[in-house]
Copies of this chain bind each other. A is one copy, B any other.
């Protein structure tokens, strides 16, 4: 062909190794690199005949995993050899046995409940992610307006502290106002402050 044609593509461009801002690009890059990573892992398995397990949580917190021969068998093996910590940042300790006297069934109940709580926490975490990503939209609530049911212990602890402080201030202010309006009738409603 005698026709000149401009480059139909810039081909592969170098990208800086830093958090990708553009959401669509991030999604594509994650997909490509995840499959590339899994491919590399499978090649490593075949070439060297080793066991491997990879677990990734996508930007949307969806779990992906690769394992040879199986994810769980490799993880079991790894978790069963705590000295693996010397090879990486994996630091672990064998904690005490919780509730050693309990029945397996009881443990299962507790475990299931804890897992459910965990699910709720994670879901809430995701929602918070979405919220902060969505920016200052009109739908934003103050954290204290979030459903109490979805709060964790730590948040409740913080709320308790905040409320105690608030109560102190409220009482102070009420007293101040009461002084100013030295009208006894109004104050009567606040005599039961200590019932809080």
Chain B residues whose C-beta falls within 8 Å of the C-beta of A140 in the assembled complex: 132
A8 interfacial by beta-carbon distance below 8 Å: no
Interface size class of A (residues with CB under 8 A): 35 or more
Q: Mark A174-186, 1 if CB is under 8 A from B, else 0.
A: 1001001111001
Which residue, of A26, A48, A91, A169, has the highest number of chain B Cβ atoms within 10 A? A48
Closest to A151 in B: B173
Chain B residues whose C-beta falls within 8 Å of the C-beta of A112 in the assembled complex: 95-96, 98
Is A97 a contact of B105 with CB atoms below 8 Å? yes
Chain B residues whose C-beta falls within 8 Å of the C-beta of A15 in the assembled complex: 47
Is B71 a contact of A90 with CB atoms below 8 Å? yes
In the complex where A78-B65, A80-B118 touch, is A57 in contact with B52 (Cβ < 8 A)?
yes
Bound CA span A79–B65, Å? 11
Give this chain's copy count: 2
A-B contact pairs, 6 of them (CB 8 A): A37-B41, A70-B90, A70-B91, A97-B108, A121-B152, A163-B167
Is A183 a contact of B133 with CB atoms below 8 Å? no
Is B44 a contact of A164 with CB atoms below 8 Å? no
Q: Mark A35-76, 1 if CB is under 8 A from B, else 0.
A: 011001101101111111111111100111111001110110
A158 interfacial by beta-carbon distance below 8 Å: yes
Is B40 a contact of A33 with CB atoms below 8 Å? yes
Chain B residues whose C-beta falls within 8 Å of the C-beta of A3 in the assembled complex: none
